[in-house]
Amino acid sequence: MKALCRSWLLVVFLSGWLSALVTAQIATVIPDTEAAEHVGQKATVEGTVVAVFTSSKGNTFINFGGKYPHQTFTGYIPADSALAGGGSSLGGLEGKRIKITGTIDLYKGKPEIKVTSKDQLVLE
């Protein structure tokens, strides 16, 4: 009887642990308007691209919800990333719904995700 209780306890513990592990690996999908509520978390932010802008320094910004400075969320592609220089091709995203996955940070009070890989961008 004691062995059965231990086995049952082990099964319950392992199933809870595995469930938590799988859940932690799946990013939460949230609308761009709620991204600011998830700062510091890994998530997938979805919304409609309003504007794509490449600065003179080569950084590219994919804005949701409004043009800068009225955006609700930004996908930020640094100039030194493998995706840099794709500003003209990324311009084709305007008006389309996309998802961006990564850790949400704040920049000047606005939520953003740093995009360094194509895997982080999904066109819906």
For residue 99, which of 25, 41, 49, 34 has the smallest C-alpha distance?
49
pLDDT tens-digit profile, the chain (124 residues): 555 444 444 344 444 444 444 444 566 899 999 999 999 999 999 999 999 999 999 999 999 999 999 999 999 999 998 877 655 578 789 999 999 999 999 999 999 999 999 999 999 8
Q: Is 98 in contact with 50 (CB distance < 8 Å)?
A: no
Q: What is the pTM of this model?
A: 0.76
How far apart CA 39 and CA 61 sit, in angstroms, is 18
* pLDDT, position 90: 82
Domain ranges of the chain: 29-123
- Give the right CATH number for 29-123 from 3.40.640.10, 3.40.190.80, 1.10.10.10, 2.40.50.140: 2.40.50.140
DSSP 1-34: -HHHHHHHHHHHHHHHHHHHHHHHHSPEEEEGGG
- What the block records as the tokens of 20 is 């938590």
